[in-house]
Amino acid sequence: MRDPLIDSSVTLGVTGSIACYKAADLASRLVRAGAKLDVIMTEGALRFLNPITFAAITHRPVVTSLFDPQSELAMDHVALARRSDVIIVAPASADALAKAAWGFAGDALSATLLAAEAPVIFAPAMDANMYDNAATQENVSRLVSRGVVIAGPEEGRLASGLIGRGRMLEPAALVDHVRIALSRHGDLAGRKVVVSAGGTQEPMDPVRVVTNRSSGKMGFAVARAARDRGASVVVVSAPTALPAPTGIDVLRVETALEMMDAVNAQCEDADVLVMAAAVADWRPSGAADRKLKKGTARSLTVEMMRNPDIVASVRKDIVKVGFAAETEDVIENAHGKLVDKELDLVAANDVTSADVGFGSDTNRVVLMDRDGGVMELGLLDKYEVGHHILDKVARML
Ligand code: C5P
């Protein structure tokens, strides 16, 4: 498995809103991720942007009318509806929502939506009063009740200068909505995957912590890969700078003990646990409740106590994956962890190698399973590493 956008057929409907300029970025991101993209522009969209913008991005003709004799739709008016794996309307104006809600079919986008069996996503963008108006809200409810996804809008500064609900979601988030729609029949559909991420922070006093260099990137990448195979995903994350990815619940914790509670609670109804967090092996025994004063002391001795092993504390009847970050004897040490922690799979890596250091976007791991299977992966993006891990997990379920 890999990014569900690769070789997918996506139709992007662009309607009349100033957020049109962001649709060009969205189109570019979809194409770069591997989608075959068709664009339909409504009359309103044509007032804001020239179709050449999208033609240059997609390398395909842009549909601007249901009745253009040059258009593919002139010969087969439901061609795009049939071909699409997913349709996203972004920006979606109030008018576009109303037309879809009431089944209008007088323009190329409305007709395509009416004929489509593929999942449909609307990304509304409009003035806050227009969005909050009962008419628009009824149209939104009507569409939602038919299984349409309404992605956004967000609160924020609108083109009118006012602050309100009506801003289109950012293109990166919309690309993730498309991935989620494409993966609804993925090999982890109906499964719950819990992923831990980041390096725990163990307090010494209210201002100081003992921690490690984990960035959380590996765990978040596994989580995105699981989401993109249809799983419902919860990340239990120690402090990281990473925002919650679209469609993934992120529970933020600090210490190993907090992580243990959260992971165990989440695993009650989970099918898979991937422990990508760097859990501190030790915590200062008895954190001071006031800031430790340096005074005139020349040295400080901190007594540490052992943290419990989280992965070993979790139910035995789910698939468990661990990571082994090693600096020597990688294979032997990782195999020891597979056995001691009763894991189904371990992803081992040599953290001394420069291209896979903490915080990097790539990793080079060796996957080892219980049956003695060893698979050495080359240098890969962490998201791809996540998919390799989940290829094995999906077979174990
Ligand atoms: O023993 P070590 O820390 O190298 O083991 C790494 C694996 O065990 C990782 O998957 C890590 O998330 C998990 N672990 C854990 N609880 C700990 C320490 C590590 O679940 N206290």
Tell me the domain boundaries of the chain: 9-183, 187-396
Task: Please determine, for residue 392, whether its predicted confidence score (pLDDT) is greater than 90.
Answer: yes
User: In this predicted model, what pLDDT tens digit does every residue of 226-247 receive, in sequence order?
Assistant: 999 999 999 999 999 999 999 9
Q: How does residue 43 score in pLDDT terms, banded at 50, 70 and 90? A: very high
User: In this predicted model, what pLDDT tens digit does every residue of 355-369 receive, in sequence order?
Assistant: 776 788 999 999 999
Residue of the CA atom closest to atom 21 of ligand 1: 309
CATH number for domain 187-396, candidates 3.40.50.2000, 3.40.50.10300, 3.20.20.10, 3.40.190.10:
3.40.50.10300
Q: Closest ligand 1 atom, CA of 307?
A: 21
As a whole-number percent, the residues of the chain with pLDDT over 90 amount to 83
Tell me the whole-structure pTM to 2 decimals.
0.94
User: In this predicted model, what pLDDT tens digit does every residue of 99-135 receive, in sequence order?
Assistant: 999 999 999 999 999 999 999 999 999 999 999 999 9
Query: 9-183 is classed in which CATH architecture?
Result: 3-Layer(aba) Sandwich (3.40)
198 lines ligand 1 (CB under 6 A): no
310 lines ligand 1 (CB under 6 A): yes
Report the chain's mean pLDDT, rounded to a whole number. 94
Task: Please determine, for residue 1, whether its predicted confidence score (pLDDT) is greater than 70.
Answer: no
Report the residue among 258, 275, 389 best suited for mutation to probe ligand 1: largest number of ligand atoms under 8 A from its CB: 275
Q: Closest ligand 1 atom, CA of 277?
A: 12
User: In this predicted model, what pLDDT tens digit does every residue of 51-76 receive, in sequence order?
Assistant: 999 999 999 999 999 888 888 887 77
Catalytic residues: 212
322 lines ligand 1 (CB under 6 A): yes
Q: Is 94 exposed, middle or buried (0-12, 13-18, 19+ CB in 10 A)?
A: buried
Residue type present at position 18 = I
Report the residue among 266, 311, 326 best suited for mutation to probe ligand 1: largest number of ligand atoms under 8 A from its CB: 311
Residue 314, pLDDT score? 97
Q: Which residues pair with 207 in a beta bridge?
A: none
Domains 9-183 and 187-396 fall in the same CATH topology: yes
For ligand 1, the distance from its centroid to the CA atom of residue 283, given in whole angstroms, is 14
219 lines ligand 1 (CB under 6 A): no
